[in-house]
Amino acid sequence: DVKVTQSSRYLVKRTGEKVFLECVQDMDHENMFWYRQDPGLGLRLIYFSYDVKMKEKGDIPEGYSVSREKKERFSLILESASTNQTSMYLCASSLRWKNEKLFFGSGTQLSVL
Amino acid sequence: GQQLNQSPQSMFIQEGEDVSMNCTSSSIFNTWLWYKQEPGEGPVLLIALYKAGELTSNGRLTAQFGITRKDSFLNISASIPSDVGIYFCAGRGYSTLTFGKGTMLLVSP
């Protein structure tokens, strides 16, 4: 089975801090994604990557950046965390571009105080 | 971007009841997917649909790809307590997946 591992289950940070969320997948998938999930808003795509060192903006990229230096690892970066970035963050991967079967991690609940 | 309308937002039912939920879009999709998210976990794929009119089952779950390609339905028969969770539809046009806002299902024993 594909395993997508997010480094932290819960994080508490202060406003203005730089925050790194890490995600690792173990099935050599080409594509990786970062979503945020908020009550009543569903899953919204922040950024995705279809290859090492490649990145594409999703629907809500403002305030975020990403890094993909290795195929298996995709990092989400909040340069200066703000309270409106308090959310559940979900990482996902898929085998090929436009391969529909996304495999999700368990999520990181980030609270920015 | 594209938007999906998923309904109902939530359902509270008795064990043994059948459940229906649906998603509609103003855009045509080439693929419809249904995911389930249990508390504290990420979404897990339940059913994938690739062709207009397609009807696919996975145990007690049945999903259909609407003929117009703008909607999809998920039915759960004879619900059990472990069906509790949030169910998401997702559609793909020519780019990334678009997710619905989810249907929260609660099942009373």
Model confidence pLDDT, tens digit, residues A39-74:
888 899 999 999 998 999 999 999 999 999 999 999
Condensed to tens digits (0 to 9), the pLDDT of residues A10-38 reads 999 999 999 999 999 998 999 999 999 99
Please give the single-letter amino acid code of residue A11.
Answer: L
Hey, which bits of A26-64 come out as E strands?
31-38, 42-49, 56-57
Is any Cβ of chain A less than 8 angstroms from the Cβ of B5?
Answer: no
SS3 B28: coil
List beta partners, residue A112: A13
**Inter-chain touch B42–A100, beta carbons under 8 Å:** no
**Inter-chain touch B45–A102, beta carbons under 8 Å:** yes
Q: Name A75's Cβ contacts closer than 8 Å, sequence gap at least 6.
A: A20, A21, A22, A23, A66, A67, A68
Mean pLDDT, chain B, integer: 93
Confidence of residue A2 (pLDDT cuts 50, 70, 90): low
Among A43, A74, A67, A47, CA closest to A58: A47
Do residues B46 and B61 touch, judged by C-beta distance below 8 A? yes
Give the angle subtended at the CA of B57 by the CAs of B100 and B46, to the nearest 5°: 40
A101 phi and psi angles, rounded to 5 deg: -80, 95
> Can you give the pLDDT at residue A1?
67
**Inter-chain touch B92–A105, beta carbons under 8 Å:** no
**Inter-chain touch A92–B45, beta carbons under 8 Å:** no
> Can you give the pLDDT at residue A92?
95
Q: Which of B4, B5, B6, B99 to mutate to test the interface with A (most CBs of A within 10 A)?
A: B99
Sort A106 into a burial class: Cβ within 10 Å, 0-12 / 13-18 / 19+. middle
The counts of H helices and E strands in chain A are 0, 11
> Can you give the pLDDT at residue B40?
87
Is any Cβ of chain A less than 8 angstroms from the Cβ of B43?
Answer: yes
> Can you give the pLDDT at residue A40?
84
**Token duo for residue B25:** 């879009």
Q: Is the per-residue pLDDT at A98 higher than 80?
A: no
